């Protein structure tokens, strides 16, 4: 009987690994076992009218030497798609909606990939420092396209929706919440409530900064720890294994180490009041 149990466990493990390799968000990382329906990022191909296969044969091996995949017309960076993959880091138990970490390139330049992942809302913790009359950061208000100006954290329609909707089947307007990179701890209560609401509603969410390696990782770790109760280091190590660029948080310089310390503080249960933004983002759900 014991032998049969072991055999079944091994079989289930092999099935899971095979499924992960066949349908995963990053085929090169077997640790990611999430059915992303083989969604493929467009990489840098979106910047070019024509796509070319780069030859990869002796003696030059141009494709592998210069970071281009000879079997794939999309330009690659260090062997990965430009902008990298979106990494699934948390699944809501009830709805199975997923929280992804990604880059700004994926969020702003790859609507087809976003639609394939079924992402319905975006949290940007790497927004630019826009200025207006009083030199405070602002973005446009969702209720009035182009104005009036509102301070961070701000919610608006994601910028690619309307111009790109014709090329994305079944496209819907995406809402995004945004703030500057060093503001995420201050507005973490808003982020936490936003992600909670949308995952509970079945809306997969993309969390990003510039490369999806620093502020977005710290925010995701703090959020997951507070939802699961697992230790900060365990969650960070798990995400690091799935998204190697998360090692930037270990760099002993500002703001990398600052993000790491805030991640630990918030993950340990630090109180996070929600910032009043006049109810605008609350009613847009």
In a domain, 43, yes or no: no
In a domain, 59, yes or no: yes
State how many domains the chain has: 3
pLDDT at 115: 86
State residue 96's pLDDT score: 92
**Domain identity same for 148 and 233:** yes
For all residues of the chain together, what is the average pLDDT?
75
Domain of residue 210, residue span: 85-283
Chain segment 110-124, per-residue pLDDT in tens: 888 888 898 989 999
Please check whether residues 155 and 29 belong to one and the same domain: no
Mean local confidence (pLDDT), 157-185: 63
Are residues 77 and 92 both part of a single domain? no
Least confident segment among 53-62, 95-104, 186-195: 53-62
Regarding whether 59 and 22 lie in a shared domain, the answer is no
Instruction: Look up the pTM and report it.
Output: 0.77
In a shared domain, residues 150 and 262: yes
- Is the pLDDT assigned to residue 279 strictly greater than 90? no
Q: In this model, does residue 44 exceed pLDDT 50?
A: yes
Rounded CA separation 208/86 (Å): 9
pLDDT classification of 134: cutoffs 50, 70, 90 = very low
Q: Does residue 102 share a domain with residue 76? A: no
């Amino acid at each position: 009987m014991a032998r049969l149990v072991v055999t079944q466990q091994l079989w289930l493990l092999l099935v899971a690994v095979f499924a992960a390799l066949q349908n995963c968000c990053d085929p090169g990382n077997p640790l990611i076992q999430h059915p992303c329906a083989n969604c493929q990022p467009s990489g840098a191909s979106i910047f070019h009218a024509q796509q070319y296969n780069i030859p990869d044969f002796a003696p030059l091996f141009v494709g592998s030497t210069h970071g281009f995949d000879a079997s794939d017309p999309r330009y690659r960076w260090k062997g990965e798609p430009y902008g990298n993959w979106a990494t699934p880091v948390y699944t809501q138990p009830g709805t199975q909606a997923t929280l992804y970490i990604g880059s700004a390139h994926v969020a702003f330049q790859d609507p087809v990939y976003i639609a394939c992942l079924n992402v319905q809302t975006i949290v940007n913790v790497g927004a630019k420092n826009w200025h207006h009359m009083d030199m405070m950061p602002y973005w446009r208000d969702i209720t009035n396209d182009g104005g009036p100006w509102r301070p961070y954290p701000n919610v608006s329609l994601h910028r690619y929706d309307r111009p790109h909707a014709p090329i994305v089947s079944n496209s819907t307007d995406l809402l995004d919440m945004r703030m500057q990179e060093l503001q995420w701890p201050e507005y973490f209560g808003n982020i936490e409530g936003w992600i909670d609401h949308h995952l509970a509603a079945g809306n997969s969410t993309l969390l990003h900064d510039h490369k999806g390696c620093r502020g977005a990782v710290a925010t995701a770790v703090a959020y997951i720890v507070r939802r699961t109760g697992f230790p900060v280091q365990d969650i960070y190590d798990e995400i690091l294994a799935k998204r190697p660029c998360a090692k930037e948080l270990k760099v002993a310089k500002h703001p990398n180490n600052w993000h790491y310390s805030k991640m630990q503080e918030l993950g340990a249960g630090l109180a996070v009041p929600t910032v009043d933004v006049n109810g605008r983002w609350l009613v847009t759900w």
